[in-house]
Amino acid sequence: MAATSHPLFGSTALRALEHAAQSALPPHTLMPRAAQAACLLILQRWRGRPVTILCGPGNNGGDGLVLARLLNQASVPVRIWALNVDKRPADAERAWRDLPRGLLQSGDPKGDAKGAVIVDALFGIGLHRDLDADTRRWLAWANEQEGAVRVALDIPTGLDADTGEAREGTFMADVTLTFLRDKPGLHTRSGQDHAGEVVVDMLGTDAVTAALPSDDQSIGTGNLIRRADCKTLFVSRKHDTHKGSFGTLAVLGGGHGMTGAALLASRAALHLGAGKVFVGLAEANPALSCDLLQPELMLRPAASLLGKKDAGIGVWVVGCGLGTDQGAADWLAATLHAARETPTVVDADALILMAANPKRVPARKAAWVLTPHPREAAQLLGCDTAAIQANRVAQARRLAAKYSAWVVLKGAGTVVSSPDGRWSVNGSGNAGLATAGTGDVLAGMIGALLAQGLDMDDAVRGGVWLHGAAAQDLSARGIGPIGLTAGEVIAAARDLRNRPENGVT
């Protein structure tokens, strides 16, 4: 996959870039640029509306103070409330001195802000303690104002820029104008709920580079996955091809009562273009010998599939509805053994079993992809789900390193890590996907892309993006997010792949 044009910077990397930019540019350049960008955004989108700016004690507050002056110069009615502070950093202090008289209000923010633009310049990436009572009261006021547009500068106050963890009362932005570089916390976990639309302004630092920290603790830099990064998804097919050109995939899953999970993964693989799809059912006496709604799938008892040496299986997907009993553990061990030289996607119950029986996981010669949701990731890493969610990027990378695997840590703002720790956050998707079976569909989709020869980077990240984009596309058509079903994601993903000009970016 080509290097993407949308970097995400962890806070340590961002501070390093900030220092490099400050050294490369004349003093006091960045804050006026940040305020100018905010002023332009407000004038372009909401000209004519009054603006209320809430300012904090640091440079984020400084951005707000300069913005107030610029809007005032542009004859926009502005009111400012600023938190009490003993000493401001130098740039913010200049902004404070230059603030025109009459804009600053006393006490707590008040009045009806209907139709106004409320700007959150309370805290940016420097927030490192719990919010104090004044800040919480001001945020509550801002979040309660109906009919107002809420704009956050750099990051909504209360949101963690690295992890997307939102403190109670975090600002609810309609738009976040973020500076220098985009941040993972705006896109994963609670990030999307609080950041709204994210607009990035690099403040003219596009050419600035910084020696980034290489310590294991910081997440460094990654990328946001967007359609532009998924070009190989959309390569058209040559005429001179046949089913063998697009790979043979086998799904091993479907224990007792869970046939549907294996069928969803298999149908997804078929619709995403795999040439042939086998379904190995782990249930002792499978009731189904054929998927009547999808007779193209070749259903087999697991033993028969695993014993079939000449099936030409080029990719395995294992775990969907497999179950977690002893029989399932045996099927997983047998499948991982058969698949050790074949690209493999490991999902769902197979991940739980791997965590419980690490000795039964054979050394691998081929690449593999683990697709845990947070609870499965927690089991694989021997921690609790909260610890996974507390830093999704760091934990996805830990897991990838532990298993030398590609990892897809699912949930709002899915995080992908390569075995060597390169990470991305998915830019597509919505809560319509919070329904049973969508994970099975994702596993089948990634498997199908691998079967068709996409490299790991493209198949994993492309599959994750397409899965989310399909949910967005369905929602745009009124099919979800509420009540969207996993099966519907399959057809929508096929549609998007064949008609890339459609919708979601």
Ligand X SMILES: Nc1ncnc2c1ncn2[C@@H]1O[C@H](COP(=O)(O)OP(=O)(O)O)[C@@H](O)[C@H]1O
For binding to ligand X (CB under 6 A), which residues are involved?
A: 348, 373, 410-412, 414, 429-431, 433-434, 436-440, 442, 467
Q: Which helix (H) or strand (E) holds 398?
A: helix 392-403
31 binds, among ligand NPW, K ion, ligand X, none (CB under 5 to 8 A by kind): ligand NPW
List the beta strands (DSSP E) in 128-174: 149-153
Given ligand X, K ion, ligand NPW, none, residue 431, with its beta carbon under 5 to 8 Å by kind, binds: ligand X
89 contact, one of ligand NPW, ligand X, K ion, none, CB 5-8 Å limit per kind: ligand NPW
Task: Identify which of 421, 459, 464, 393 has the alpha carbon closest to the alpha carbon of residue 187.
Answer: 393
Preceding omega of 481 cis (within 30 degrees of 0):
yes
442 binds, among K ion, ligand X, ligand NPW, none (CB under 5 to 8 A by kind): ligand X
Give the single-character DSSP code of 10: -
Per the CB < 8 A criterion, the answer to whether 238 and 438 are in contact is: no
Report which residue's Cβ sits closest to K ion. Answer: 120
User: Binds 150, which of ligand X, K ion, ligand NPW, none (CB < 5 to 8 A, cut-off by type)?
Assistant: none
Q: Which helix (H) or strand (E) holds 210?
A: none
Taking a C-beta distance cutoff of 8 angstroms, is the pair 463, 449 a contact? Answer: yes
The annotation status of 130 as a binding-site residue, yes or no, is yes
Q: Is residue 181 exposed (0-12), middle (13-18) or buried (19+ Cβ within 10 Å)?
A: buried
Question: Is 61 labelled a binding residue?
Answer: yes
Dist CA 61 CA 153 (whole Å): 9
Helix residue spans in 272-391 (DSSP H): 302-307, 326-338, 349-356, 374-381, 385-390
- In whole angstroms, the minimum distance from the beta carbon of 384 to ligand NPW comes to 26
Please check if 60 is assigned to a binding site: yes
What residue type is assigned to position 60 of the chain?
A: N
**Complex with ligand NPW: residue 31 or 265, whichever CB lies closer:** 31
Q: Are strands 117-121 and 298-301 parallel, antiparallel or unpaired?
A: unpaired
Residue 247 known to bind ligand:
no
Whether residue 56 is annotated as binding a ligand: the answer is no
State the Cα–Cα distance between residues 406 and 505, nearest whole angstrom: 24
Helix 349-356 crosses helix 374-381 at what angle (to 10 degrees)? Answer: 10
Distance of alpha carbon 242 from alpha carbon 147, whole angstroms: 57
Span near K ion by CB under 5 A; candidates 59-67, 236-244, 274-282, 440-448: 59-67
157 makes contact with K ion (CB under 5 A) = yes
# chain residues binding K ion, by CB under 5 A:
5
Q: Which residue's CB comes closest to ligand X?
A: 439
Residue 411 labeled ligand binder: yes
Torsion of CA 12, 16, 17, 18, to 10 degrees: 100
> Is residue 424 classed as helix, strand or coil in its secondary structure?
strand
Identity of the residue, 1 or 153, whose beta carbon is nearer to ligand NPW in the bound complex: 153
The minimum distance between CB 451 and ligand NPW, in angstroms, equals 45
Beta-carbon contacts of 315 under 8 Å, excluding residues fewer than 6 positions away, are 247, 248, 249, 250, 274, 342, 343, 344, 345, 447, 448, 450, 451
Binding site for ligand NPW (CB under 6 A): 18, 22, 30-31, 34, 56-61, 63, 89, 123-132, 153-154, 179
* 120 interface partner picked from K ion, ligand X, ligand NPW, none, CB below 5 to 8 A per type: K ion
Say how many Å lie between the first and final Cα of the chain, rounded.
16
Nearer to ligand NPW, 37 or 274 (CB): 37
CB of residue 428 to ligand X, shortest distance in Å: 9
Residue 176: CB minimum distance to ligand X, A: 18
Give the residue with the Cβ less far from K ion, 157 or 472.
Answer: 157
Helix 259-271 vs helix 438-451: crossing angle, to nearest 10: 40
Q: Does 176 bind K ion (CB under 5 A)?
A: no
Shorter beta-carbon distance to ligand X: residue 314 or 439: 439
Q: Which stretch binds K ion (CB under 5 A): 92-100, 152-160, 372-380, 400-408?
A: 152-160
Q: Which of ligand NPW, K ion, ligand X, none does 57 bind, CB closer than 5 to 8 A by kind?
A: ligand NPW
Residues 6+ apart with CB under 8 A from 270: 277, 294, 296, 297, 448
221-225 and 423-426 beta bridge pairing: parallel
240 labelled ligand-binding? no
Closest CB 431 distance from ligand X, rounded Å: 4
- Please check if 364 is assigned to a binding site: no
CA-atom Rg of the chain in angstroms: 25
Q: Which amino acid makes up residue 442?
A: L
Cβ proximity to ligand X, 302 vs 412, nearer residue:
412
Which of ligand NPW, K ion, ligand X, none binds 30 (CB below 5-8 Å, type-dependent)?
ligand NPW
**Residue 59 interacting with K ion (CB under 5 A):** no
Instruction: Answer yes or no: is 129 a known binding residue.
Output: yes
**Chain positions contacting K ion, by CB under 5 A:** 60, 120, 152-153, 157
